Amino acid sequence: MARLKEEWPDTDFRIQTISTKGDRNRGSLEAMAQKGDKGFWVKEIEDALLQKRIDIAVHSLKDLPTEQPEGLEVSSIPRRVDARDVLIGKEGMKRLADLPQGARVGTSSVRRKAFLRAYRPDLQVIDLRGNIDTRLAALAGNEYDAIILAAAGLIRTEMRHRIDEFVEPDIMLPAPGQGALALETRADDDLTIEVAYAIHDHTTDDRITAEREFLAGLGAGCMAPVGAHATVKGGLLTLEGWVGALDGGHVIRATTQGDPSECADLGAELATDMLDRGAQALIDAARS
């Protein structure tokens, strides 16, 4: 909102909070995903957009399906915040690699659970639901020794000081689109599209496009055990992808590089490579 106000100081922006199915049913997200229920973080917001009750929908990009409803489009992707996952732990539990055998780690993400079980099979991975405040409060209790969250959520809510460790992508790849926002508008609303596009970041767009095309090419959703992370350095886009079994027993990881202008093709090609190496079986197993 602050960025939009900077670009359009004479425009009156108002925030309207909309509750989604994902907000109301946090305890059954995995079951909904297994049934193929998509868009449980965004549908009610998109309905409000289509019904002209709002003009811009702001989504966490990692929760946005790779295909938009007819009549809507992603008009702007602002500059990405930190894409990494982070660990917050109790005293003596501040680094993932140093957690003692049997330490209890909380997370709600299928992807993070699969990563943790592959990287540290000696840990106890325990389900953790709720918003950021609820999860931090749970850590203060007796059930968890550490929890894993997205860095971006803590940074945006001015709780960066709570972070004990940033988990680097070479250990745990983020979800495709993690750390980025999407501004969605009606496809025929030219004025609002112009307003939203004023804060668009082209490099972030290239990175996100590669990651989401990878996800789309796998035919996987935001609840799948899939990680992807694209970087742009020296005029070269590097995309790394990961698909894992829920029990951590089998993982597939691969990397590709190319010109940022070919970001969509790079994502699709990496997905094809991963499918050729058996990724489909891992994705199907996560749905069953």
Please tell me which residue in 84, 111, 113, 186 is annotated as part of the active site. Answer: 111
Please confirm, yes or no, whether 63 is among the known catalytic residues. Answer: yes
Determine whether 90 is an active site residue. Answer: no
How far is the C-alpha of 83 from the C-alpha of 98, rounded, in Å? 22
Beta strands in the chain (DSSP E): 57-60, 72-76, 85-89, 104-107, 124-127, 146-150, 165-167, 181-186, 226-233, 236-244, 251-258
Active site residue 160: no
Contacts of 209 (CB under 8 A, 6+ apart): 263, 264, 267
* Interatomic CA distance for residues 123 and 96, integer angstroms: 10
Is 53 known to be catalytic?
no
Catalytic: which of 120, 135, 186, 207? 135
111 given a catalytic annotation: yes
Active-site residue among 84, 112, 113, 186? Answer: 112
Catalytic residue among 62, 104, 117, 212: 62
Active-site annotation holder among 120, 186, 222, 263 = 222
Q: Which residue is catalytic, options 90, 129, 162, 287?
A: 129
Q: Which residues are CB-neighbours of 233 under 8 A, at least 6 positions away?
A: none
- Extended strands (E) in 90-192: 104-107, 124-127, 146-150, 165-167, 181-186
Catalytic residues: 62-63, 111-112, 129, 135, 222
